[in-house]
Structure formats: structure tokens, C-alpha cells
Copies of this chain bind each other. A is one copy, B any other.
């Protein structure tokens, strides 16, 4: 007996992830997958409806792993007794940056794919995974005492994490040499530092007061 249906799907996804990492979305070809998996091209379409579904499944795995990495990093700090909010957020950001650097080809593909499904209906497993990341950040912010209620803390978490995300992706627009990595990290340090300082000084919702005049 060869491989289970489940096992073969795993194998296909592993191959697909490698292909995406090497050459981005346009390198994910049905025939290449089939050849490397030792099955026929038709069998690929038996396991997955189309290549988009393969791509989606790969992205899910990546997001899942990213969440696990973030949680592990938080657990490490917990074990070391680090409670400083700024340190913990920076650790999360570091995990994120490392993850993106470890997947130079497939991470852009995650983002590009993400946008393509804007037409689909309501929230799905994708959003659930992204929300999990936001929740980790929100948990860290809860430790700091910024006088935020749950809603505002959640908003702050999404804002902060989206900003980190923007810095990372903008940074990798240009050539990804080491100078770029340094620039990204400088930006992240600046963002987190300013953000925490701003929250401490109650700048979070000052605009709401001036706006509701």
C-alpha cells in the first residue's frame, strides 16, 4: 500500500510549499506537483478542487505555524519572568520578522493570495487564524495598565499588529539585503517604543474627544 489520502495531501502540501517558497505563486504548477509527488496530474485535482485550494491550504499551514511560533515566544518570556509590555511586543515582532525571513517566497504569496479572495462571502478559517495573532498581541497589551477597556484594547492590538505587518511588508518591497533587515528592525523598535509611550500618556483616544466636538 502506498500513502493514505490524508498522507498524500500532506505530501502535496509540502511540495507546494517548497514550490511557492522558491518561485512564488506563479511557480505552483499542477504538473510539477504531480511529478514530484509521483502521482498523475488528475490525482492532484482529486485531492484538491484546484490550485487555489492548494495555495489556500499552504497559507493556512503557514499562518498556523506563525501563531504557534508567537505563542511559543510568549511562553518563553513568561518562563523568564519578563512582563514588560514593550519587550514582549518586540519579541512578537521578532518572531514575525524571523518567520517572514524564513519564508521569503511563500510569505508574499500569502499576502497576495489573501487579497484575491476579497470577493468571497463572510469570515472563514483564514480570518480565524489572523484573529488568533491579534489576540496574542491583545493579551500582551492587557498586561500593561493603559486604562483600556476590552474593545479599545482589541482595536489597539489590531492597529499595532497591522502596523508591524506594514513595516515588514513595505521593507521587503526593496531588495532584501541585510541593510534592509536592519532598517525594518529600526522601524519596528521606533513604532513599538512610540506606541507604548503614546498609550502610557493617554494619547490613544485623544482624537475621539477632539473629533466629537
Contacts and interface: CB of A to CB of B under 8 A. Distances in A.
A43 interface: no
Interface in A148-199: 155-156, 158-159, 161-167, 169-176, 183, 186-187, 189-199
Interface stretch (A9-17, A65-73, A75-83, A201-209): A201-209
CB-based closest 9 A-B pairs: A166-B166, A197-B203, A194-B198, A163-B163, A198-B198, A162-B170, A197-B198, A108-B115, A112-B112
Contact of A194 (B167, B172, B203, B211): B203
A86 interface: yes
Contacts of A205: 190, 193
A53 interface: no
Given A166-B165, A175-B118, A197-B206, A190 B159 contact: yes
Given A194-B204, A197-B197, A171 B162 contact: yes
A24 interface: yes
Contact of A204 (B111, B122, B190): B190
Interface in A95-121: 104, 108, 111-112, 114-116, 118, 120-121
B198 A203 contact: yes
Given A190-B204, A197-B201, A166 B174 contact: no
25 contacts: A90-B207, A111-B111, A112-B112, A115-B172, A118-B174, A118-B175, A122-B175, A130-B173, A156-B190, A156-B194, A158-B183, A159-B187, A159-B190, A162-B187, A163-B191, A165-B170, A166-B169, A190-B205, A190-B207, A194-B194, A194-B203, A195-B198, A198-B201, A200-B201, A201-B201
A50 interface: no
Interface string A112-148: 1011101011110001001000000000000000000
Nearest to A158: B187
Given A162-B170, A166-B165, A171-B162, A24 B111 contact: no
